[in-house]
Amino acid sequence: GNQQRVDANILLLGAHNVGKSALTVRFLTRRFIGEYGDIESVYSRVDRIDGQEICFNIWDSQDGQTLSSLSDKQLQWADGMILVYSICDRGSFDVVQQQLQQIRRHRKPSSVPIIIVGNKRDLRRHRSVSSEEGRLLAMSQRCGFFEVSAAETYHGVLLVFHGLVELVKESRALR
Ligand code: GDP
């Protein structure tokens, strides 16, 4: 079989304070750490999934990523993207929609799989974006969709990253 190592460059986007760093750190270390610095860099983790070695290279973009600051370099680097909003922050949901539009101008849906993530699910009492809205946006843009809590659980976060790598592998196979 094909047991070559797979490299997947994953770019995290979204507004400030939605939990991009929390998701990255949760995935890399299985832990939740409350506060992070503002260092922007690429982190790597090698996983074995179904006997295949996968190298996740994760670019946790800092920050706020107003439209203009979503750089060509980021857009071209990514094999897959995770667009994060907070379910308690409607403005962050708008940012995801704006970033999607910008991405679509540069990359075809078939060339860069995207998963939309509604984070902070543990704060659902303060929810301002319904699950339905998130799911509909994802469907209309042919993206994956998850609601997770980086603070509470590792499992959901793992599903996001592993799910994205599956999509990246599929999109490569189609090329
Ligand atoms: P970033 O600016 O998008 O990288 O956001 P951070 O990862 O720095 O998180 C912003 C704030 O939200 C921090 O205070 C985190 O502790 C908090 N946070 C992140 N994820 C969650 C979550 O799932 N639930 C809750 N309650 N807080 C979270």
Atom of ligand 1 nearest to the CA of 152: 23
CA dihedral 103, 108, 112, 117 (to 10 degrees): 50
To test the pocket of ligand 1, the residue of 25, 58, 120 to mutate (highest count of ligand atoms within 8 Å of its CB) is 120
Beta carbons within 8 Å of 71's beta carbon, 6+ residues apart: none
CA nearest ligand 1 atom 25, residue: 120
Q: How far is the CA of 23 from the centre of ligand 1 (A)?
A: 8
Peptide bond into 63 cis (omega under 30): yes
Count of alpha carbons within 13 angstroms of residue 104, beta-carbon side: 11
- In 29-158, where do the E strands start and end? 42-49, 52-60, 80-86, 114-119, 144-147
d(CA 145, CA 155) in angstroms, rounded, equals 15
Atom of ligand 1 nearest to the CA of 84: 3
CA distances from 147 to 30, 111, 144 (A): 18, 24, 11
d(CA 38, CA 35) in angstroms, rounded, equals 10
Whole-structure pTM value: 0.92
pLDDT of residue 61: 79
Count of alpha carbons within 13 angstroms of residue 121, beta-carbon side: 16
- Where would I find the H helices in the chain? 20-29, 72-77, 90-106, 131-140, 155-174
ipTM of the complex: 0.99
pLDDT digits 0-9 by tens, 7-54: 999 999 999 999 999 999 899 887 666 555 555 578 888 999 889 999
Cα–Cα–Cα angle for 145, 150, 156, rounded to 5 degrees: 50
pLDDT digits 0-9 by tens, 122-150: 999 999 999 999 999 999 999 999 999 99
CA distances from 120 to 14, 84, 93, 147 (A): 14, 10, 13, 8
